Amino acid sequence: MATIDANLPKGTALLAQPRLNRDAAFTPAERETLGLAGLLPHAVFTIDQQETLETEHLAAKSDPLEKYVGLIALLERNETLFYRVLAHNLEALAPIIYTPTVGLACQQYSHIFRRPHGLYLTPDDAGQMVERLCNVAEAEVRLIVVTDNERILGLGDQGVGGMAIPVGKLILYAAGAGIHPRHCLPVSLDVGTDNPALLEDPFYLGFRAPRLRGEAYDAVVAEFVAAVKKVFPRAILQWEDFKKGNAFRLLEQYRGEVRSFNDDIQGTAAIALAGILSGLRITGESLAQQRILFVGAGGAGVGIGGLIRAELLAQGVSEADARRKLLFFDSDGVLVAGRPIKDPYKSPFVLGAADAAAIGVHADLDLLGLVQAFRPTVLIGTSGQPGVFDAAVLAQMAANCARPIVLPLSNPTSKAECTPAAALTHSDGRALVATGSPFAPVQIGERKFAIGQCNNVFIFPGLGLGLLLSEAERVPDSLFLAAAHAVAEFTQAQHAGEETLYPRIAELRAVSQHVARAVARAAAQAGVAQAVAESELEERAAAWHWLPAYGPLPR
């Protein structure tokens, strides 16, 4: 024990360090050497015993938000044990630490706050962001998830409470891809809020001012990106929960300047495409044979459409044919020429008059009329309008083809365009269904259908790991195509015959490893990373793979 790092904190200072603390797992010899003798109860537990106790504590809590608070308290006390519990119970705990429960945590953030996580930047930090990033204790930051808190899940502007999203995403990077937490940094660009309830809350922790807009907002983002490039030049930057206009604009503005991607746009697109590819592996059809209708043309819907079009083009479909296979319907109706389009990012998906005439659609059609005229084989919902896929729409989908693919992706469960039970009931059990939120299996007659979850968690941890393995200089769209194919391949290999479109959350580590290797190979093929032999790729993957266990103390 005498060789333990002399600079290691001792006594209560050590117990206050969640990355070093082991609670009752410190051995008698460690307790003597580290000034812990008498500061802990007599018994020495193994990490397995501690894990059992922590799962008992969680099981005793019935309220999801209380479970969230309990888990974060464990993270703030004993980081290794937290990740051990999470990694071994991902199926049950991922919905607590992330969607849907994290939405409640965002709403209650100022009232459940105990200890800070990551970096909080406000307009008052202008001109000093390099110094602020230098205040981060970790020198090995390789993954940054940043939000401006304006479009948190389906909840809108949550002010500083949006920080729970980057924290949750990076927890899933560590638990689901094995990336050590020391490489991860959550960031909140707290540029104010337009949420009156927050501004009126006397306990609100954020920057108490109306949300920054225009050039002043852009200046904050620009200084932040410049500071990241200077302080953490090897870091990957993930944009998270920015309002759709800013999300598209910032992605395009900075993707050539820094290794960055937007999970809401590109990650959602990749996981949706993965589900479609999984469905087509079941039906034996090609993507080129499909007609795809999107209900909802926000950031998620347009992002999915863009990646599906990229996949069609990669498969040799012409631009003209690809354009006629994708149709969008939003709150103002069908995206066709002649209809006013307020949002520039929708413009690439406005169907021209000739194309609209060729496929028999026009601006006056309602959703059912559109499903009858266009005869889609794939129906994707990102509208946040519960029940918009009603019995008539679903029955018409079933009439269009033998195995319609129905993806009601809006979160949370209450906003889903239809329930899996409705999709299966009105298609006589023929629909291939996956949802954005978790749903229980559905019983139709004597058949029981497992409902896959179209969850970005199957994409972003593996994508981030693949970028780290390959040291990719940029993040082109082809890497998201590779990730989508990898998830579909994994699903088919592990769940052949089950007719599920996605893996299980419990398989996340294995999925992420498979995705990471595919992304690393695709980065080399795209010319944004050096090609390496498979043996070296495996060595890199092993070097990055962290398992939460008590190892030797720093020497």
List CB contacts of 271: < 8 A, sequence separation 6 or more: 454, 455, 456, 458, 459, 484, 487, 502
Domain region containing 153: 94-258
Mean pLDDT of 64-77: 97
The residue out of 258, 290, 306 marking a domain boundary is 258
Same domain? 161 vs 224: yes
Give strand pairing partners of 334: 329
Give strand pairing partners of 442: 449
Same domain? 401 vs 522: no
Q: Does 3 score more than 80 pLDDT?
A: no
Q: Return the pLDDT at 74.
A: 98
Model confidence at 2, pLDDT cuts 50, 70, 90, reads: very low
- Does 131 fall in a domain? yes
Q: Does 331 score more than 70 pLDDT?
A: yes
pLDDT digits (tens, 9 = 90+) for 467-519: 999 999 999 999 999 999 999 999 999 998 889 999 999 999 999 999 999 99
Same domain? 446 vs 463: no
pLDDT digits (tens, 9 = 90+) for 397-427: 999 999 999 999 998 788 899 999 999 999 9
Share of the chain above pLDDT 90, in %: 89
- Does 331 fall in a domain? yes
Model confidence at 88, pLDDT cuts 50, 70, 90, reads: very high
Mean pLDDT of 138-166: 95
- Does 350 fall in a domain? yes
Q: Return the pLDDT at 152.
A: 92
Mean pLDDT of 459-474: 97
- Does 165 fall in a domain? yes
The residue out of 392, 420, 451 marking a domain boundary is 451
Mean pLDDT of 202-225: 98
Share of the chain above pLDDT 70, in %: 99
Range of lowest pLDDT (277-281, 329-333, 473-477): 329-333
Mean pLDDT of 366-395: 96
Same domain? 247 vs 285: no
Known catalytic membership, residue 169? yes
Same domain? 382 vs 506: no
Which helix (DSSP H) or strand (DSSP E) does residue 111 occupy?
helix 109-112
Known catalytic membership, residue 98? yes
Same domain? 230 vs 275: no
Q: Return the pLDDT at 553.
A: 82
Same domain? 251 vs 282: no
For residue 176, count other CB atoms closer than 10 A to its CB: 27
Q: Return the pLDDT at 119.
A: 98
pTM for the full predicted model:
0.94
For residue 81, count other CB atoms closer than 10 A to its CB: 24
Same domain? 244 vs 312: no
Catalytic residue among 68, 83, 98, 173: 98
Same domain? 353 vs 387: yes
298 φ, ψ (degrees, to nearest 5): -85, -160
d(CA 82, CA 175): 10
- Does 73 fall in a domain? no
Q: Return the pLDDT at 1.
A: 42
Q: Return the pLDDT at 555.
A: 61
- Does 4 fall in a domain? no
The residue out of 451, 480, 505 marking a domain boundary is 451
- Does 343 fall in a domain? yes
Long-range contacts of 87-90 (CB under 8 A, 24+ apart): 87/175, 87/509, 87/547, 87/548, 88/51, 89/55, 90/175, 90/176, 90/505, 90/506, 90/508
Q: Does 24 score more than 90 pLDDT?
A: yes
Same domain? 127 vs 250: yes
Q: Return the pLDDT at 5.
A: 75
pLDDT digits (tens, 9 = 90+) for 181-213: 999 999 999 999 999 999 999 999 999 999 999
Q: Read off the CATH number of the domain in which 343 is found.
A: 3.40.50.720
Q: Read off the CATH number of the domain in which 110 is found.
A: 3.40.50.10380
Q: Return the pLDDT at 14.
A: 97
Q: What is the mean pLDDT of the chain?
A: 95
- Does 387 fall in a domain? yes
Same domain? 237 vs 140: yes
| DSSP conformational letter for 351 | B
pLDDT digits (tens, 9 = 90+) for 338-354: 888 888 889 999 999 99
Model confidence at 521, pLDDT cuts 50, 70, 90, reads: very high
d(CA 84, CA 332): 48
Q: Return the pLDDT at 554.
A: 74
Same domain? 273 vs 394: yes
Catalytic residue among 169, 244, 325, 346: 169
In total, how many domains does the chain have? 4
